Amino acid sequence: MVTRRQKKTLTRILLTAVLLAALWFVPAEGWLKLCLYLVPYLLIGYDILRKAALGIVHGQVFDENFLMAIATVGAFVLAWIDGSGDYLEAVAVMLFYQIGEWFQSYAVGKSRRSITQLMDIRPDYANIETDGRLERVDPDEVAVGTVITVQPGEKVPIDGVVVEGASSLNTAALTGESVPREVAVGDTVISGCVNMTGLLKLETTRAFGESTVSKILDLVENASSRKSRSEDFISRFARVYTPAVCAAALALAVAPPLALTLLGRSARWPVWLYRALAFLVTSCPCALVISIPLSFFAGLGGASREGVLVKGSNFLEALSQVRQVVFDKTGTLTMGVFQVSGVHHSDLPQEKLMEYVALAESASSHPISKSIQRAYGLEPDRTRVTDVRELSGNGVIATVDGRQIAAGNEALMEKLGVPASPCHSVGTIIHVAVDGAYAGHIVVSDVVRPQARDALRQLKAAGVARTVMLTGDNDPAAQAVAADLGVDQVYSRLLPQDKVERVEALLSDQPKGQRLAFVGDGVNDAPVLSRADVGIAMGAMGSDAAIEAADVVLMDDDLMKLPKAIRLAKRCMAIVWQNIVFAIGVKVLCLLLVAVGAANMWLAIFADVGVMVLAVLNAMRCLKTPE
Amino acid sequence: MKKTYSVEVDCANCARKMEEAAGKVPGVAALSINFMTQRMSVEFAEDAQEKPVMQAVRKTCRKVEPDFVIEL
């Protein structure tokens, strides 16, 4: 797509080229020739001249418009003074500059659009059924609790619950996951997914502005406003660079002729003046200024396609320097779902013991109680349970079928004066006493995520030197999980505030230039997420708290995204540095060639456009995910 | 108060310069121009009026880049 302004410039470029070709055959001299050449010059350069003049009025000197105006006007003056009448160069330089600008604006616009398209999850409308007809409305105007219709092929505009219909949803735009998700009546649906097969009616649970899709869009749109250090470097560079170049150009115009005069040789003022002008024209740092933000933007886009939302270029950069990864155990390395893994030392039949405990704990919503109820498998008959007493942090005492059942930790057994037999298994131990006599214990443990081991191995391959696990669990349980997964270091029995201290200690021991990432599920580790250099929240789809607290958000709970994100960040940074070195290198080379007179303005402008195009193409490689 | 506007900026360098200049306009607490998404997000200072502030922002940006376009 070519914008209106681009079309206009293109017309001017073509007209100027035709005029120049025609003027080649016109035998004019002196004033007439100057006037004739001024026609194409003004045609192609009037906006540059105007901007340069406005720039001077507004105190914005030294921008590229100013440089171009000075250089081309200078070339005209020189050609008039030395009598050569070679005005072609001035016009041609302006023409090439415009061609370069046009191409730059086209290439950048195209890249920009292809990246934003990738992240285009913004729903344009919501369907509301009125009198049997579907009406399209602005999602912003849909009140919470409204029933909306989502047809196959449409985006879910607002978070909601399915009230009618069943379908498969494509969540790829949000999570990068290509396997569709099946939903039926009663399921929650997150906005930004695409409905694939069936008609769905949703009752909205949030306003559009609060919906997942809005939060993500907000995050993505603000991401590149957080500048990375490399981008800051460019800003600082530009601030020093432009005055330095102007000073060098001035020196080039004045110093050599003066030196030559002192040596008693011909000063050749026009030659040096020309070189100084060419030097100015060559100096524009376009390729650098354009390609760095574009690389980061493409990197952010590529990551979001994988379901990894990075909140800013600075975090992408930090991600590439991560050498230590600290994991929260529960809900991150493990699923946070407890399972009964054994019943030991029981005099009663195992089923009986499970039944008693499940009934005693039937009123509790604690994850461990839930796991026991799941293992029991039947709907507990609450009429058999009386006198339930929950002892916070210890367990529960209740009467089941007339027998007193106590289930809880060692402290509870001590309190009741029941000698508990210790357990060597890994996990949380629930001791059980029946009518004041010890009746064995139940071992409940967390389930390790299937991809955790692989993910940790790949992290090492991606350059992470150390992995650390933090947990509130007891030491044997923590050590066992760590050994199983291959975690380097474990800190167990930590309270939430201890986790922050632990991470701070790790941060203070860290060598300069290295970064520490903390990975959590965002549930109650917000302080740690914000304290780490890079806070990574996973399984964040639908969890606002996690999206807000973290710097990097993994939309689903696939741990493999972690090494992938680090590889992507590293690759993006490599491309950024390639572009910086390449752009500055070629620029310095061109400046030197121009200064010694080995290259003229035309060549310099060609080189500039060439470098810019290559740098933009290179930047687009950031979009691709490394395997 | 924070608002986002659609803008039309041609070059990344100009966007940077405009961001710098417009950030200093009275009534603006923070301002950033996202060249890639062509959006300007403005955080207004307390008790600042959106309209006059944004007109001043537009004027400042036009000083840097006469072709600057913003949808107010």
Look at the domain B2-70 and name its fold: Alpha-Beta Plaits (3.30.70)
Domain boundary, last residue among A118, A136, A167: A118
A224 to B63: CB separation less than 8 angstroms, yes or no: no
How high is the pLDDT of residue A543? 64
CATH number of the domain encompassing residue A197: 2.70.150.10
Residues A431 and A528 in one domain: no
* Mean pLDDT score, A592-610: 81
CA distance B64 to chain A (A): 7
Q: Provide, as residue numbers in chain A, all residues whose Cβ is less than 8 Å from the Cβ of B38.
A: 112
Residues A155 and A27 in one domain: no
Which of A95-99, A117-121, A564-568, A599-603 comes out lowest in average pLDDT? A117-121
Identify the domain containing residue A358 by its residue range: 335-447
How high is the pLDDT of residue A393? 67
A116 to B37: CB separation less than 8 angstroms, yes or no: yes
- Which candidate in B36, B41, B59 is best for mutational testing of the A interface (most A CBs within 10 A)? B36
Please count the structural domains in chain A: 4
- A328 labelled catalytic: yes
Residues A11 and A113 in one domain: yes
Token readout for A430 is: 């629930």
How high is the pLDDT of residue A279? 85
Nearest alpha-carbon partner for B65 in B6, B22, B3, B5: B22
Q: What DSSP assignment string belongs to A214-255? A: HHHHHHHHHHTTS--HHHHHHHHHHHHHHHHHHHHHHHHHHH
| 0.90 exceeded by pTM | no
Residues A404 and A516 in one domain: no
Task: Place A312 in a pLDDT band, splitting at 50, 70 and 90.
Answer: confident
Q: Print pLDDT tens along chain B (72 aa).
A: 778 788 888 776 678 788 888 989 999 998 888 777 778 888 898 888 889 999 999 998 888 877 788 887
How high is the pLDDT of residue A113? 75
Domain boundary, last residue among A533, A553, A568: A568
Q: How far apart are CA A28 and CA A17, in angstroms?
A: 18
| 3-state secondary structure string across A163-182 | EECCEEEECHHHHCCCCCEE
Residues A366 and A407 in one domain: yes
- Which candidate in A50, A98, A118, A222 is best for mutational testing of the B interface (most B CBs within 10 A)? A222
B12 to A108: CB separation less than 8 angstroms, yes or no: yes
Check A47, A63, A328, A454 and give the catalytic one: A328
How far is residue A154 from each of residues A145, A151, A198, A542, measured CA to CA in Å? Answer: 20, 6, 11, 20
Q: Report pLDDT digits (tens) over A409-447.
A: 888 888 888 888 877 776 778 889 988 888 888 888 778
How high is the pLDDT of residue A221? 66
Task: Place A231 in a pLDDT band, splitting at 50, 70 and 90.
Answer: confident
pLDDT at A271 over 90: no
CA distance A550 to chain B (A): 21
Q: What DSSP assignment string belongs to A131-175? A: TTEEEEE-GGGPPTT-EEEE-TTPBP-S-EEEEE--EEEE-HHHH
B36 to A224: CB separation less than 8 angstroms, yes or no: yes
* Mean pLDDT score, A74-87: 82
Residues A491 and A559 in one domain: yes
**ipTM score of complex:** 0.71
> Residue A386: how many CB atoms within 10 A of its CB?
11
Residue, of A608 and B18, whose pLDDT is higher: B18
CATH number of the domain encompassing residue A395: 3.40.1110.10
A290 to B11: CB separation less than 8 angstroms, yes or no: yes
Residues A53 and A105 in one domain: yes
Domain boundary, last residue among A402, A425, A447: A447
Q: Report pLDDT digits (tens) over A184-219.
A: 898 888 888 888 888 999 999 988 888 888 877 777
Question: Least CB-CB distance to A221: which of B17, B34, B67?
Answer: B34
Q: Report pLDDT digits (tens) over A531-553.
A: 899 999 887 665 666 677 788 98
* Mean pLDDT score, A295-311: 84
A289 to B16: CB separation less than 8 angstroms, yes or no: yes
Nearest alpha-carbon partner for A514 in A249, A317, A220: A317
B37 to A54: CB separation less than 8 angstroms, yes or no: no
Nearest residue of A to residue B34, measured between CA atoms: A225
Residue, of A221 and A109, whose pLDDT is higher: A109
Whether residue A137 contacts residue A128, with contact meaning beta carbons closer than 8 Å, is answered with yes
Residues A246-267 as b/e (b if ≥16 CB within 10 A, e otherwise) read: bebbeebbeebbeeeeeeeeee
Q: How far apart are CA A172 and CA A169, in angstroms?
A: 9
CA distance A38 to chain B (A): 24
Q: How far apart are CA A604 and CA A587, in angstroms?
A: 9
How high is the pLDDT of residue A131? 82
Q: Provide, as residue numbers in chain B, all residues whose Cβ is less than 8 Å from the Cβ of A576.
A: none
Residues A501 and A562 in one domain: yes
Q: Which of residues 13-32 of B touch A (CB under 8 A)?
A: 13, 16-17, 32
Domain extent listing, chain B: 2-70
Residues A209 and A77 in one domain: no
- Our measurement of the distance from residue B23's CA atom to the centroid of its chain's CA atoms, rounded to an integer in Å, reads 7
Q: Is residue A440, in this structure, part of any structural domain at all?
A: yes
Token readout for A598 is: 């080995």
How high is the pLDDT of residue A60? 66
